[in-house]
Structure 1
């Protein structure tokens, strides 16, 4: 028979054992919605990631807070234990553990899906549980638009914490540039409201600082007037001449386009054993139709297979864009930022250099089951940086000193067993681009002394995001993180880049 002393010891230990399990503590002592592994809501939320590798990580439970107060309660419980955890908005980061967790609680912001608009001012309060297509649908008919990303299924929370590149960035800067105030639950559960005048250093750190400072439960945003838009895709069958001309066209567009309502993404895509080898051009114009010749350098290129560009609502464009999300695939995303070459050196740098390098590496992956490899060339003209600076300081602190391209690299494949090998392919792809850019700068072929940060929303987890920011931005992020999270609740127990 157990001794009275044993019962006494169990009685002393029991509270700490219970509090060490966030899922049990929240379930037993609060009204916060908790989904355990056998619940349907657990399954539906867990499979809703862009990468199957994130879905394969199994949280101990999924918590669905409906307010900042409920998020505060969850974080206060987490402060009593040492569990790993994660916060998920849309789950579009394919980096394992960035918004996914294995064996600890997952905080889903899905129930924080409010959108409250002042019709007269265009100021909106937006919850991180909204995806971009949902935002566009809710705003349909109001005459206002959100400076969001380009794929409707993207979660708004992760987008804005990484900065957010938009079709409308040349007009309005990053997605985060339009934030007026945050509602932020700090790691200790305190709720604050950073703005340009209150907690201003935290306000800056949240614009490009990722998930290091707490949980944002509301974004107060300035929206902008918008009616019908023009957009869709042009698909070209590739050959060497199409490669060369499209790369030259995106270079020229980045430098010479003066209509900030116009935007393009130029993407090359290959699939297993060359069953697909195409270019997919994303066109956008913030108006019902672009002026004549706006996209002429692209549309005049031969080899067009099909086109879907037309006048439509922004909500329709966001919903249409979801064809790019490949459910059930392991996904990796990486990136590089490069200064554009001169017109005379376009072929050498973009076609013979970067694109040939990508084709060489991607060719070595074409036997991987289900492989889809892509590279996207996205204009980053000086005007985006200038617009972002005009709206206030952010952690990215891009300089309007040179026209640049943000290159997005994607590998998607079916077999989880290929993950380690494909990591090496991704590192070789972005690493080779970086090495070439540094070499061309040393030779004087590309502008040197240009600040080239890693764009967070496209970064591979092994890339040095904070190390590529300016020293002042790195220090600000580190100082803020140290002050708001002195016990390392977020820095030591969540994934993501750490300052």
Structure 2
């Protein structure tokens, strides 16, 4: 039903038993699942809901909007009868083409899975992958509970949690994935499984940092945590060599010395066309109405030209953060991880890496609409400790060293610059990586396990190769078990073990 037999075959009676189906047509023919085609308003709007315009430029053959796990299972079974490329989309914040976007095949949008169902007695909350972080925060506002999510409100739940998820609250509770108690998962064979540490322990572990390799999540059962108002906002500084050095030293020192698990920072430098913008924007967060005196003095004492940090609701903080999204731009994001250097080797390492970023980003300042940025994000031992205390995950970070996660972004307008800017991003993160490896070899930096953070990974980076061999082997074995025909492995985008 809903499939067609080509006319010339019908006329000549050749291959009469062969029916050619596509998922869009066969799902549409059921009459029970919402299927939208190009030129429909719902299709057009959904295509605007990507962070990167390069993903929006890829045109799916249709966009399917299921609203139950059973409907997702029906779609998956239809996909299994085709050879189409396809994609699944939560919030569309991953800018890598084909990770949540597709050209010429069906796109499954999880937009209708927007449930946020809280048990106020236990703090256990069921969250659908159609939610964005600001939406969850708004729905939980006033309950006294919060979730361990990311830092930008417009971020979709699905990609964030499956990639691990770094949060302002990671030093208290580990990764966003560390708070998952159970996944409702549609497997490649169309069955629906409730996956927990006791029911499917290996699959449960691989879903914590393994991305979209194992099935389609239709519900995350999470442990929420008590929370009242928070304190946070931004500091703004203008670039100068002296200011750069002081800010970079402050983030190094904060990574080593901060003992307050409720405090978090993101330290970001940004440049725009012809240095019309050349500044620092720092994100400060404290899980409480006000930080204890001195918590952020290393940053505030440098003398920001703007400081809007104040007490606010968590929902307000999440909504406020969305200013960072540059609509209608193409976005490339890459990442690296560095051991936190000693104070003595700070200039040789962190300052040198920042100078490398400035040198490479110099070459982009004539690209229309360019915004080049680099973010320095503390990855303290405490995060690894808290994650491990909440069960195994594929990231499997240890607490032998403090680390810093570096995020490198290029946002720009012309699609014609896509390949050149991809090469530029690769030159940026490869230069960082090569320097780190060299400094570890000569003793400037400590040895240590340095995984790539999947949520910031560029499609050319070897995410799986940077995990522990045991994690990759586990993921490969589980993938072979749950997806033997390669529905996820070979027909949709993402990092593959």
Q: Which residue of 1 aligns with 2:273?
A: 272
Secondary structure of the structure 1 residue equivalent to 2:202? helix
Please tell me whether residue 191 in structure 1 is matched to residue 199 in structure 2: no
Change (3 A) 1:274 1:4: closer
1:351-397 CA-partner distances (Å, limit 9, x unpaired): 1x100000000011101111000000000000000000000000110
- 1:385 paired residue number: 384
Which residue of the partner structure matches residue 482 of structure 2?
484
2:466 matches 1:432: no
Within 2, Cα distance between the matches of 1:190 and 1:423? 38
Give CA-to-partner distance per residue, 1:90-126, whole Å, 9 cap, x none.
0000000000000000000000111110000000111
> Could you tell me how far 1:151 is from its partner in structure 2?
0.2
Q: What does residue 315 of structure 1 align with? A: 315
Q: Report the 3-state secondary structure (helix = DSSP H, G, I; strand = E; otherwise coil) of the residue aligned with 1:374.
A: strand
Correspondence 1:42-441 to 2 at 5 A: 42-302=43-303, 304-351=304-351, 353-441=352-440
Deviation digits for residues 121-151 of structure 1 (CA, Å, limit 9, x no counterpart): 0001110000000000000000000100000
* Partner SS for 1:100: coil
> How many positions carry a matched residue from both structures?
491
The aligned runs of 1:464-483 (5 Å cut-off) are 464-483=462-481
After TM superposition, give the deviation of residue 305 of structure 1 in Å: 1.9
The 2-side partners of 1:28 and 1:438 are apart by 56
Secondary structure, aligned partner of 2:178: helix
**Inter-CA distance 379–4: structure 2 relative to 1 (3 Å threshold):** closer
In the alignment, the residues of structure 2 paired with residue 265 and residue 443 of structure 1 have an alpha-carbon distance, to the nearest angstrom, of: 29
| C-alpha separation in 2, matches of 1:284 and 1:4 | 66
Which residue in 1 is equivalent to 2:4? none
Q: CA deviation at 1:193?
A: 1.0
Asked if 1:496 is matched to 2:480, the reply is: no
Give, in angstroms, the shift of residue 58 of structure 1: 0.3
Q: Deviations over 1:283-318 (max 9, x none)?
A: 00000110111000000003x221221110000000
Label 1:4 to 1:369 Cα distance change in 2 as closer, same or farther (>3 A): closer
Distance 1:419 1:61 in 2: 25
Q: Deviating runs (4+, > 2 A) in structure 1?
A: 2-13
Structure 1: tracts of 5 or more residues without a match: none
Secondary structure, counterpart of 2:333 in structure 1? strand
Select 1:9's aligned residue among 9, 14, 23: 14
Q: Is the 8 A contact 2:10 2:16 kept in 1?
A: no
| CA 1:381–1:5: 2 relative to 1, 3 Å | closer
Q: Report the aligned-residue RMSD.
A: 1.2
Q: SS state of the match for residue 490, structure 1?
A: coil
**Structure 1 residue 6 displacement after superposition:** 3.6
Residues 389-425 of structure 1: CA distance to partner in whole angstroms, max 9, x if unpaired?
0000001101111000000000000000111111111
Cα deviation 1:411-467 (Å, max 9, x = unaligned): 00000011111111100000000000001111101001x000110000000000001
Match of 2:25 in 1: 24
Is the 2:9–2:16 Cα contact (8 Å) retained in structure 1? no
Mapped to 2, the partners of 1:32 and 1:451 lie a distance apart of: 46
**Alpha-carbon distance in structure 2 between the residues aligned to 1:116 and 1:315:** 17
- C-alpha distance in 2, partners of 1:3/1:235? 68
- Distance in 2 separating the partners of 1:347 and 1:38: 55
Q: Distance in 2 between matches of 1:327 and 1:24?
A: 32
Q: CA deviation at 1:8?
A: 3.7
Query: 1:256-279 CA distances to partner (integer Å, 9 max, x unpaired)?
Result: 000000000000000000000000
SS at match of 2:489: helix
Rounded Cα–Cα distance in structure 2 between residues aligned with 1:421 and 1:307: 36
TM-score norm. by structure 2 comes to: 0.97
Q: What is the SS of the residue equivalent to 1:102?
A: coil
- The 1-side partners of 2:9 and 2:279 are apart by 75
TM-score of the superposed pair, with normalisation by structure 1: 0.97
Distance in 1 separating the partners of 2:223 and 2:276: 45
Give me the whole-angstrom Cα distance separating, in 1, the residues matched to 2:102 and 2:67.
21
